Structure 1
Amino acid sequence: MQKQSSFKGKQLSGTLYLVPTPIGNLQDMTYRAVETLRTVELIASEDTRNTQKLLNHFEITTSQKSLHEHNFKERVPELVTLLEQGKNIAQVSDAGMPSISDPGHELVVACIKANIPVVSLPGPTAGLTALIASGLSPQPNYFYGFLPRKKNEQAKELTTLKNEEATLIFYESPHRLKQTVKTISEVFGNRQAVVCRELTKVHEEYLRGTLAELTDYLSENPIKGECCLMVAGFDGLEATPITPSELTLKQQVQALVTEGIKPNAAIKTVAQNNQIKKQVVYKAYHEIEAPAE
């Protein structure tokens, strides 16, 4: 049992402030966040170069130390020592809330263990910001973050989430988004889903539809920018997974090519699966129109 009084009572140590930073639009930086970064003795940053741009914009001169996934084992003890000496430290990630899909949680745990106050400031977080405009049910919601990269590991993890009734929130890189949506559709069936990209930026965009519709769209329209993917929760009815026959011939070939199969072999496989001539699939994949009669 531990009790923390964040702003009352005397304390010998400093305080660790968890300060959110904008996820795109710099106007989302709060007055309190700016003032905190100005008044602490040190800022622990995921990437000091990225954070320096933010500090320059708001004319903040506080010094920084890096804290990321490659140096946290050495850096956390250093920062805890400074806090125990009475110095106040702010922790920031490159964008959004610290520790959410970003490094920093280890410092929080170390501070709690050392009875150093940890104070979290409210601010931007991509998952909930996108969720409330998605049109999907905001309550309950289940934030997952990034799924495993390998398809078999991803499918295994998704199987554990298949019957989750809450709206699911994932982060994904744009070059992996198409395959991730396809894998989710294969495991979950054809649910409603929303992709939000470039949140708070000038190119902010929402793609709303079924998983099948999103798979089809992303196959023809690669997208760029930071992505948040939200998928409707399980409604109690067993959905029918999307089968290859629900995709166009070209999409079926593209899916196999993405998995590392050579185009000619993929065309042959799709032809066999659909019980049609290989030439038909070849023309569909290469978008060769039949000659006019």
Structure 2
Amino acid sequence: ARPGARLEDGFAVLRVLRADGADGLPGYRLQGWCGDLSVNCAAGPTRRPAPAVSLARLRQDGEGHYPSEVLRGIHLWSENQYELAHWINRIRARHGDDLHLVVWDDTGYDLPWELLLVPGDAALDLVGGPLGALVAVARWTTVRDPGQDGLPADSGDCHGRVLGYLHQDMADDGRLFTSYAHRLHRLMTPFLSDLDTQDDRTGLVYLGCHGTYGDTVPGLTLGDRTWAELNGEPMSALRRDRSLVCLNACDSGRFVDNRAQGEEALRGFAELFLRKGAGGCIVSSGKVGDLEARAMARRLVREVAEHPRR
């Protein structure tokens, strides 16, 4: 069966896959479906890797682009996706505010689908704007684990205490959890021990720390641990409780093509925590400023508390 075919009414899936164009150059193709409304876009000259529109280009020391230039690039990129925009407006017209879009992008191209500029349609009484401001958008990512049959069906309900790790620079984040049952650590080792051995149900796992990104997996770090070190941790509570994981760290949502280590797979921290059993991950696709990080954390706690089963 087609992945997502059994989603509830009002859910749509946009599948983004690597593909070569007719000229043999690398790019991507699109498959979208929402009930009987579908879209298919072949790879071609307007569907190429687009590093200039990646949000990772913002806030890069010495080589970052001005935000205004990145946004202009996103505007041009969006104009080239007119077939996709037409489909999005059709499903918006059908489902209105009840529409939920799942973007399943395994390209590793860092394409900012949430910022795709969708034009308005007066005939359908639809306003335009960034996709993520018009529609509830979430992402799927493929998890490759020979030891599992696939992604667990249950997404979890964020019920239970907060378990967290806070780097000393993010210690103020701890104030957000004072009204909730919580256990916060300043050191990674006891945090990881709790994530594996604690009996209390854990609804939210929160890491507020620094993150780094590199062109290969060894360049990925979260706090004082590399991707490989975290990959070696069992984190048993995640699969038991299907906890929501928030990685409030720079570049925590970016992926690396791991061909350098002999596999055809995208690896990153979101993939790692999902593979360990997390019910979902909230991550960053670029650099995160301190003020933005705290604002995001406050909103996260409020949303999870008000809508634990969303």
What TM-score do the two structures reach when normalised by structure 2?
A: 0.28
Q: Per residue, is there more helix in 1 or in 2?
A: 1
Counting strand residues as a fraction of each chain, which structure ranks higher?
2
| RCO comparison, higher one (Cα < 8 Å, 6+) | 1
- Radius of gyration: which is bigger? 1
